A and B are shown apart, each in its own frame.
Chain A
Amino acid sequence: MAAQLPGSCCSSRPLHAAGELLKRARSALPRMFAGRVSMTRFVAHQVIVFVALLLVAIQLVTLLALNWAVSENASESVRKEVEVGRRIFVRMMEDRTQQLTTAASVLASDFGLRQALMSSDQATIVSALNNHGARIGAAKMMLIGLDRRVVGETAAQSNGERPLFPFPHLIEDAERKGAASAIALIGHAPFQIVVVPVLAPVPVAWVMVAFSVDNKLAQDLGLLTGLDVSFATWARERGWNVAATTLPPAGTRALLGALGPPTGTAVPPITPDLLGADFLLSGSVLGRVDEGAVVAILQSSLRDAIARFDGLRVILLALAAFGLCATVAGSLLIARSISRPVSALAEFARRMERGEYDQGPPETRSDELGELAASFNRMRLAIAAREQQIKSMALQDALTGLPNRALFNERLQQALGLARRLTQPVSVLLIDLNRFKEVNDTLGHHVGDRLLCEVAERLRTVLVRASDTPARLGGDEFAVLLPASSEAMAEATARKILQAFEAPVFVEGRQLDVSGSIGIASFPEQGDDANVLMSRADAAMYVAKRKRMGCAVYDPRFDAEAGNHDRLSLTGELRQAVEEDQFVLYYQPRLDLASGAITGAEALVRWQHPVRGLVPPDQFIPFAEQTGCIREITQWVIGRAFEQCARWRASGLALQVSINLSARDLLDPELPQRFAELLARHGASPQWFLLEITESAIVDDPARAHDTVTRLHEMGFGLSIDDFGTGYSSLAQLKRLPVAELKIDKSFVLDMAHDPDDMTIVRSVIDLAHNMGLSVVAEGVETDEVHQLLHDMGCDYLQGYHICRPLPVAQLEPWLARDAAQHGTTAKET
């Protein structure tokens, strides 16, 4: 900064200099911080510029005020100086007069002088005057007789005449007062004249002593008064002359010039502003005679007086410069001390934004910023705590307090990562409670919830290793992560869990039996990916449940039963499949045992996937149901089946076609209407069709399902209960439904030849159906043995590979033709 001060700080134009300084400072500030300007710095710079401007403004005002005060003060002080000087001058002149009078008196009383003066000898008199005059520094001396004629005179040759004394009034004065003095012109020069008597001892003569009014006198008086002292003479003809002065020649010339040319007949007045605004002066007429006057002029320079304050001004400007520098430097420091912590806080806030809560704000200060930092820190801790809480809520099952699916997956990923590095096994158990839905439905959700909590508790009890993680995936589905556990260890754990489930649970005084199906999948044997492991554990669980095995370790063969790992991606393609007509209807013939003829066929949908090839229905139907896509699929199936059946009927083939409806279809209140439209479109009759409904479809929402089913029945459709025996439908419900047929699930039929239980079930179902007036269909008939058994049991219809596998229309028709030829019977329109 200092280097940018104007070269001369004592410039005669401080205003201009200050303005220049400001301009430079404003343009310099941005340059100084260029390259590292941030918002806080910008604010800081504004502060600095403001403070600097304010300071400069204040200093400018101060300077102006000072200038004004100095000028006022100087002129006032000069005025006083001149006044005081004038008084001193007057007093000094009086004193001097007194001194000179005394000196002259003493001289005049000198006996020798008196003797000489009384000697009447002219030469002696002049000589004595010279001698004694020299004693007191007199310029001239004169002896005047009582007749006022000059008796003798220094520096004058007597020519015998005795001229009259030129200042008779002084003698008159002296007669009265003992002495007299005046300043007067002798020749053209000013003198201070003293007249004293020569006493012997009465006045016998007068002595005039004249002292020069010269530069020395002016200088003495100038020293004492502190002013410039000039003695000017004025004579009528000659005008002004400066006889003695303390002024330098230039000042003398200026004064003479100001006094002006010889004009007028009287002494011109001398005004204080005679020399203009730069000087103040005081003039006093010391002596006046007819032809002229002696004037004393005292003067003082205003400019000099003001110049005396130059030092002060320099100091003030230096102080201003220093103050400006100090202010800017101080402001910079303060601004930095603010902007640095603010930047640090901003960085801290960015860390928080990124979710890094581990580190607090950088420094703790005791000022407001420190307070802010402390607040930020508290905020950080609070946010971290809340986030932890939210995270735990997000990762925890609210009911049981177990980790939820998300956390389980995360842990599984971690465990797999670790296992890969350490080449350890990891096992996953997937647990599904058996018949939980029933408990929920019949005893209420609160009982179901208690049951789930109990299950969670038992899982916790069983799992003693800290690394073993039980989790509730949703509904009645639980999972357990067993890091560092082999397949065998996992199986052991599963057994323990099942054992723990064996003890009944008491809820509201009710005894509930808990049982679960557990699927096991282990890394690395059954998969090296979390999704694969989970889906395989799911498949195993499905099998375990289906087979009531308690627990099952995954086996690749399970894929076919439990759906496959591609399910998810398949669902995404389903809608596209509907739109692009990728489905195909296969028909599986149904044998009428009574007639031995093929009287019907079940329409089975197949997905002719452009990449995967033919996809069996159990691999996509469940997901079509979940996604709601099943409506479109059912629509398509029905449309095709109606069309095909109508075509067959037209060609004389009276096959009753069975069509599967899903639970979701039954919940669609518009289903009967759409059926009616399709019938009309294809010219089909409802009596040609048998609608197969699963048990579970009824169980989910019995009232609505019942309503839809009734309406369909009223339209003329035949109804059949599909997969009978696997669900939980009550006979009471069954009784209310207008069904005509039961279809025994193939799981009972497949192995009935070797499983007495299955055989019993099948027999019972057949008996039950017949007793209720319903016909019975057995599916999954794959051997002749079973065929025979069912025949013996009085089953009405058979369906299965033993009869015929599902066939596309193109193959079905030749097969029917062959079969008819073989058995001699075929379905004919009746």
Chain B
Amino acid sequence: MLALPAAPAAAGDIRATVRDRDGKPVADAVVVAVPSGGATGAGIPPGLAEEDQRNKEFVPYVLPVQAGTRVHFPNNDNIRHHVYSFSPAKTFELPLYSGTPTSPVLFEKPGVVILGCNIHDWMVGYIYVSESPHFAKTGADGKATLGGLPGGDYTLRVWHPRLEGSEQATARPLAVPATGAVDAATTIGLTPDFRARRAPTPGRGGY
């Protein structure tokens, strides 16, 4: 899904696992590895990404992108949406539209951009803008693999929409071997899911 460049041959992987305090795997957590020397622009330059609106939901729920990535917001519903973000990382607004706006939105500033739809309060999506090119999103099993990392010391952080405390608090150093994989298990606290209720679909008898 992610159009990541293939890692050089001499590269290590991080096999990250994110669990909550109950030991349950946490999905949709973004695991970011920042090289100790600071984020290098090395690697494949950011490209394009898509944040769909399907069935009045943002798909995917969490979209990690590297800073500088342009994201399209195609509207796959037969209704219009009004996508906005008041997040400092990227404040924008796509007033009522249908189909795919011609120009994608550029996310240059690292940070979390919370997406909402002004029409549908319950629609929420996150675009994680990472300063580092090394990041991955956990699946339903709570696992994510960051591959093709040049060996060295990294700072590993985990972010999740319901992350308790700040993302910085999850940071921890991690040595990535030049080859091979390193396991990184992270336990995070989750806040209660705070999402607006989905409005009943007219004509379908509520929910």
B-binding residues in A (CB < 8 A): 109, 111, 114-115, 118, 175-176, 178, 197, 199-204
Contacts and interface: CB of A to CB of B under 8 A. Distances in A.
A202 B118 CA distance: 12
A201 B91 contact: no
Contacts of B114: 200-202, 204
Contact of A118 (B91, B115, B122, B124): B91
- Shortest beta-carbon contacts, A-B, top 9: A201-B116, A118-B86, A200-B86, A201-B124, A111-B118, A202-B114, A200-B116, A201-B121, A201-B196
B16 interface: no
A202 B86 contact: no
B54 to A, nearest CB: 17
B194 interface: yes
B84 interface: yes
Nearest to A198: B86
Interface string B7-19: 0000000000000
Contact of B86 (A175, A176, A204): A204
Given A109-B121, A111-B118, A118-B91, A199 B196 contact: yes
Interface-centre pick from B86, B116, B192, B194 (highest chain A CB count, 10 A): B86
B120 to A, nearest CB: 9
Nearest to A118: B86
Contacts of B121: 109, 199, 201
Interface string B48-81: 0000000000000000000000000000000000
22 contacts: A109-B121, A111-B82, A111-B84, A111-B118, A114-B86, A118-B86, A118-B91, A175-B194, A178-B194, A199-B116, A199-B121, A201-B114, A201-B115, A201-B116, A201-B121, A201-B122, A201-B124, A202-B124, A202-B161, A202-B195, A204-B86, A204-B114
A114 B82 CA distance: 14
Most buried by B among A109, A111, A176, A202: A202
Contacts of B117: 201
A584 to B, nearest CB: 162
- What is the interface residue range for chain B against chain A? 20 to 34
Given A201-B114, A201-B117, A201-B122, 15 more contacts: A109-B121, A111-B82, A111-B84, A111-B118, A199-B121, A199-B196, A200-B84, A200-B85, A200-B114, A200-B116, A201-B115, A201-B116, A201-B195, A202-B194, A204-B86
Nearest to B162: A202
Nearest to B91: A118
B176 interface: no
B30 to A, nearest CB: 16
A200 B112 CA distance: 12
A195 to B, nearest CB: 14
Contacts of B124: 201-202
Looking at A114, A175, A197, A200, the one whose CB has the most chain B CB atoms below 10 A away is A200
Contacts of B87: 200
A204 B192 CA distance: 15
Nearest to B193: A202
A357 B116 CA distance: 125
A203 B123 CA distance: 13
A212 B194 CA distance: 30
Contact of B123 (A109, A115, A201): A201
B106 to A, nearest CB: 20
Contacts of A111: 82, 84, 118
A202 B194 CA distance: 7
Chain B residues touching A, majority SS: loop
A111 B119 CA distance: 10
Contacts of B84: 111, 200
Nearest to A201: B116
Interface in B172-198: 192, 194-196
A199 B115 CA distance: 11
A115 B195 CA distance: 19
Max chain A C-beta neighbours (<10 A), residue from B121, B194, B195 = B194
B53 to A, nearest CB: 13
A197 B195 CA distance: 11
Nearest to B116: A201
Contacts of B194: 175, 178, 197, 202-203
Contacts of A201: 114-117, 121-124, 195-196
Contact of A115 (B82, B86, B115, B192): B86
Nearest to B123: A201
Nearest to A178: B194
Nearest to A197: B194
A596 B184 CA distance: 219
Contacts of B123: 201
B18 to A, nearest CB: 20
Contacts of B118: 111
Contacts of A115: 86
Contacts of B192: 175-176
Contacts of A109: 121
Contacts of A178: 194
B200 to A, nearest CB: 16
Name the residue in A109, A114, A175, A201 with the highest tally of chain B Cβ atoms < 10 Å from its Cβ.
Answer: A201
A109 B85 CA distance: 13
A490 to B, nearest CB: 143
A481 to B, nearest CB: 134
A204 B86 CA distance: 9
Interface string B96-125: 000000000000000000111110011110
B32 to A, nearest CB: 20
A357 B47 CA distance: 148
Nearest to A110: B118
A200 B91 CA distance: 11
A197 B191 CA distance: 15
Contacts of A175: 192, 194
Contacts of B161: 202
- Chain B CB within 10 Å, residue with most, of A109, A175, A197, A199: A199
A118 B118 CA distance: 15
A201 B83 CA distance: 11
Nearest to A204: B86
A199 B116 CA distance: 9
A198 to B, nearest CB: 9
A197 to B, nearest CB: 8
Contacts of A200: 84-87, 114, 116
A115 B85 CA distance: 9
Contacts of A202: 114, 124, 161, 194-195
A204 B114 CA distance: 10
A782 B197 CA distance: 180
A143 to B, nearest CB: 13
B166 to A, nearest CB: 12
Contacts of A199: 116, 121, 196
Nearest to A203: B194
Contacts of A203: 194
Contacts of A114: 86
A203 B116 CA distance: 11
B163 to A, nearest CB: 12
A176 B192 CA distance: 8
A207 to B, nearest CB: 14
Nearest to A199: B196
A201 to B, nearest CB: 4
A203 B121 CA distance: 12
A577 to B, nearest CB: 151
B82 to A, nearest CB: 8
A111 B91 CA distance: 13
Interface in B146-169: 161
Contacts of B85: 200
Nearest to A111: B118
A199 to B, nearest CB: 6
Select the residue from B115, B116, B117, B121 with max chain A CB neighbours within 10 A: B116
A201 B121 CA distance: 7
A109 B121 CA distance: 8
A116 to B, nearest CB: 10
In this complex, the member of B82, B114, B115 whose beta carbon has the largest number of chain A beta carbons within 10 angstroms is: B114
A138 to B, nearest CB: 21
